[in-house]
Amino acid sequence: MVTDSPDSRGQTLKVAPSPSEPPSGFVHDVYEHVWIIERPRAQVWAWLCDPRTFTDGQIPPWRVEFLNNEAGETGFAEGVYNTHTGPFINFAGVLGEIWHEEYRDLQYFYGSYALSFALFRPTRLQFWVDDTDDGGTRLTLQLDTFVRRRARGMWARLMRIFWKRFGGWCERAIPNNWLR
């Protein structure tokens, strides 16, 4: 007789979401982008860590989801599961360290891909925010990806095109207070 007792299940493994070294034929690519956002850091951070930034206005069949962590939290909290899915993409991961108004880490699971698993395998997406001297915010992104060696140039071009508008979206989403 088989039962569903807790003793019949194995222990949950504690492993990294993705391998630390790229597989054969791939290289580790680091894409970085910096934007200067003419808004206070607290407002930029609030926009960056608001799930609605990524879920409102989704165009089917693409979708962004957040699933509760062990503490029952959702949204941008450590341990929350996150996925961006749709045709030609599957970025599934878990939120890592989050330092309030400073740093956010999303680690992608092995099996995540852009266009094809045979070409581009994202492993980590990190954001930093810092104050600028004039009251704005420096928003820095780093995306680590295992990229098929021969497709590295194409990946760099795609990232420049994709991320170029992100800073503008942020600035337009946060009302400008001319009195600051």
| Degrees, nearest 5: CA angle 107-111-115 | 100
Whether 55 has a pLDDT exceeding 70, the answer reads: yes
Confidence band, pLDDT 50/70/90 cuts, at residue 178: low
Q: Mean pLDDT of all residues in the chain?
A: 91
Segment 47-58 shows an average pLDDT of 92
Kindly report which listed range (1-10, 43-52, 91-100) carries the lowest average pLDDT score.
1-10
Q: Which tens digit of pLDDT belongs to each residue from 67-109? A: 999 999 999 999 999 999 999 999 999 999 999 999 999 999 9
Burial class (CB in 10 A: 0-12, 13-18, 19+), 131: middle
C-alpha span between 142 and 12 (Å, rounded) = 30
At a CB cut-off of 8 Å and minimum separation 6, what does 153 contact? none
The token pair at 120 is 């581009």
Whether 179 has a pLDDT exceeding 50, the answer reads: no
Q: Which domains does the chain have, with CATH numbers?
A: 23-173 (3.30.530.20)
Q: What is the pLDDT of residue 15?
A: 81
Q: What is the pLDDT of residue 13?
A: 67
Place of tokens 């820095």: 140
